[in-house]
Copies of this chain bind each other. A is one copy, B any other.
Amino acid sequence: MAVKTKDEALPRLPAGTWAILGLLTFGERSGYDLKKLIDLSVGHFFSPARSQIYAELRRLVQLGYAREREVSQTDRPDKRNYRVTPAGEAALRRWLDESPLEPDSFKSPFLVKVFFGRLMDPDRLEEQVREYRAGAVSELAELEALEPMIRDEPMTAFPYLTLRAGLSACRHTIRWCDEVLKALREETP
């Protein structure tokens, strides 16, 4: 028999919307909870503002992909939890399997500066490279702290793969910074 959902067109949504829907498959959550969850999961390759999360949740409800539920709390302010609907999970699976791969987007004001480094004061440039390197080091520390928590957990096998991508990217960045610092020292003694 034909599966009806197979024939329906998927709405064209940005990947981030699907990511939020996906996070709801781990259990119902409020917008506020989602923000924290994002920061320590998909935060390295998708990081929306809080206001956008709330907007996406409203959109998911409107599409029938999520349902809203008021949760009264005595110890804290009330909140609204969202959970994924069967239609939502079906749509998500279809998006994951069928949607053509969109290219990554990477923007780096820092690399723009390095590119035009010949116009910079050498000390300022070195300073900014160090600052950039320090950022990568602290990001690496965060990811390394996460690593033992999710490794060997079967539920997080796939998130673990993306964590490995983040770890490797940070390490590459740090090595590259060291190369650059060395090159700068050699050229301007």
Contacts and interface: CB of A to CB of B under 8 A. Distances in A.
B162 A45 contact: no
A125 to B, nearest CB: 8
Interface in A91-107: 92-93, 96-98, 101-107
Q: How many copies altogether? A: 2
Contact of A124 (B96, B104, B176): B96
A25 B115 CA distance: 12
A158 B3 CA distance: 57
Interface stretch (A27-35, A59-67, A127-135, A141-149): A127-135
A101 B133 CA distance: 12
Q: Max chain B CB contacts within 10 Å: which of A15, A92, A124? A: A15
